[in-house]
């Protein structure tokens, strides 16, 4: 098509893509073009603004490396990651709500026996004992489920961000027992700011938004025959619980981190105060799928 005016552009692009053999790719790209062109017509960016937008997209890629995924972070801070997760993981049958994977999950966490300590290098902080049961939507325990855990330190840094922490510190993989139970020991995590040294930091500052996430522990629960559950359990008294920069705090996954000022701890070497968190996960039937790690 030889273009006569701007009104013809969208139809011309749709026609060019209309013979795409992959039906899902055809559907997705057609919708993308319609919405993207409608956005451009609504906003009417100047050529200078368009160039700035292209530079922003380039900067996202340039800021992404083995230890930082700026593209995932971009999807997180505009709510797209949380929206995709909620659209793909309904909770109508009682299954645990999903929450975004985030930019800090790493594959191949060390496998530990139940009750092991995630702390693998000096990490000052108050002890946290986490336990629960993995069940199916009928209430039956799920034995042999893998429970992948990772979280930030008490100073708000994941181990790949902090040279003071050992490799894979505060990360671990556990297998539920015959009663579906999991339990482990760690230190209570702190809330933290998302990385702000790249273009997403510039965007947040331009929008006068804070970069903080409330304290939480990440979980990925998997077992063949069940849909992979990726979620986070937030601290009920965490700062920024109502203003999470990634919009991923869902009421049902706010856990109760109980502070014990006195009394014996689950481990003999721990003195008061310490924290406990009990949380049960419910898996729905489906396909087990392991996501692509956002960092190495």
Q: Which residue has the tokens 């671990």?
A: 172
pLDDT tens digits, residue range 101-156?
999 999 999 999 999 999 999 999 999 999 999 999 999 999 999 999 999 999 99
Output the pLDDT for position 91: 86
Mean pLDDT of the chain: 96
In the chain, the percentage of residues whose pLDDT exceeds 70 is 100
b/e sequence 163-193, b meaning 16+ C-beta within 10 Å: eebeebbbbbbbebbeebbbbbbbbbbbbbe
CA–CA distance, 65 with 44 (Å, rounded to integer): 33
Q: What is the mean pLDDT of residues 278-287?
A: 97
- Distance spanning both ends of the chain, measured CA to CA: 46
CA–CA distance, 96 with 164 (Å, rounded to integer): 34
The residue extents of the domains of the chain are 70-283
pLDDT tens digits, residue range 42-74?
999 999 999 999 999 999 999 999 989 999 999
In the chain, the percentage of residues whose pLDDT exceeds 90 is 96
The answer to whether the pTM exceeds 0.75 is: yes
Tell me which CATH code domain 70-283 carries. Answer: 2.60.130.10
Q: In the structure, what pLDDT confidence band is assigned to residue 1 with cuts at 50, 70 and 90?
A: confident
Cα dihedral angle (88, 93, 94, 98), rounded to 10 degrees? 0
| Max Cα–Cα distance, the chain, nearest Å | 80
In the structure encoding, which two tokens stand for residue 76, read together?
A: 């997180």
Output the pLDDT for position 90: 85
pLDDT tens digits, residue range 173-222?
999 999 999 999 999 999 999 999 999 999 999 999 999 999 999 999 99
Output the pLDDT for position 111: 98
| Of 208, 93, 109, the residue nearest 151 (C-alpha) | 109
114-117 long-range Cβ contacts below 8 angstroms, 24+ apart: 114/174, 114/175, 114/177, 114/181, 114/182, 114/183, 114/184, 115/183, 115/184, 115/185, 116/172, 116/174, 116/184, 116/185, 117/184, 117/185, 117/186
């Amino acid at each position: 098509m030889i273009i006569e005016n701007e009104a013809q552009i969208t139809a011309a692009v749709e026609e060019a893509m209309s013979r795409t053999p992959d039906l899902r790719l055809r559907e997705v790209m057609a919708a993308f073009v319609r919405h993207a062109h409608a956005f451009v017509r609504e906003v009417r960016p100047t050529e200078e603004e368009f160039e700035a937008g292209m530079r922003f997209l380039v900067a996202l890629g340039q800021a992404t490396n083995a230890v930082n995924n700026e593209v995932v972070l971009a999807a997180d801070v505009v709510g797209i990651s949380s929206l995709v997760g909620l659209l793909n993981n309904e909770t109508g049958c009682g299954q645990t709500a999903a929450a975004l994977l985030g930019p800090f999950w790493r594959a191949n966490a060390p496998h530990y026996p139940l009750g092991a300590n995630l702390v693998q290098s000096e990490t000052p902080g108050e002890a946290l004992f986490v336990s629960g049961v993995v069940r199916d939507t009928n209430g039956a325990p799920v034995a042999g489920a893998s429970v992948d855990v990772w979280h930030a330190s008490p100073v708000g840094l994941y181990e790949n961000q902090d040279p003071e922490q050992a490799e894979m510190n505060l990360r671990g993989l556990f297998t539920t027992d015959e009663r579906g139970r999991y339990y482990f020991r760690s230190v209570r995590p702190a809330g933290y700011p998302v990385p702000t040294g790249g273009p997403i930091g510039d965007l947040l500052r331009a929008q006068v938004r804070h970069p903080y996430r409330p304290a939480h522990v990440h979980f990925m629960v998997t077992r063949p025959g069940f849909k992979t559950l990726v979620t986070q359990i937030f601290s009920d008294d965490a700062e920024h619980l109502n203003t999470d920069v990634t919009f991923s705090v869902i009421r049902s996954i706010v856990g109760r981190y109980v502070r014990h000022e006195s009394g014996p701890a689950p481990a003999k070497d721990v003195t008061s105060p310490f924290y406990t968190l009990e949380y049960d996960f419910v898996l729905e039937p489906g396909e087990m799928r392991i996501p692509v790690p956002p960092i190495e």
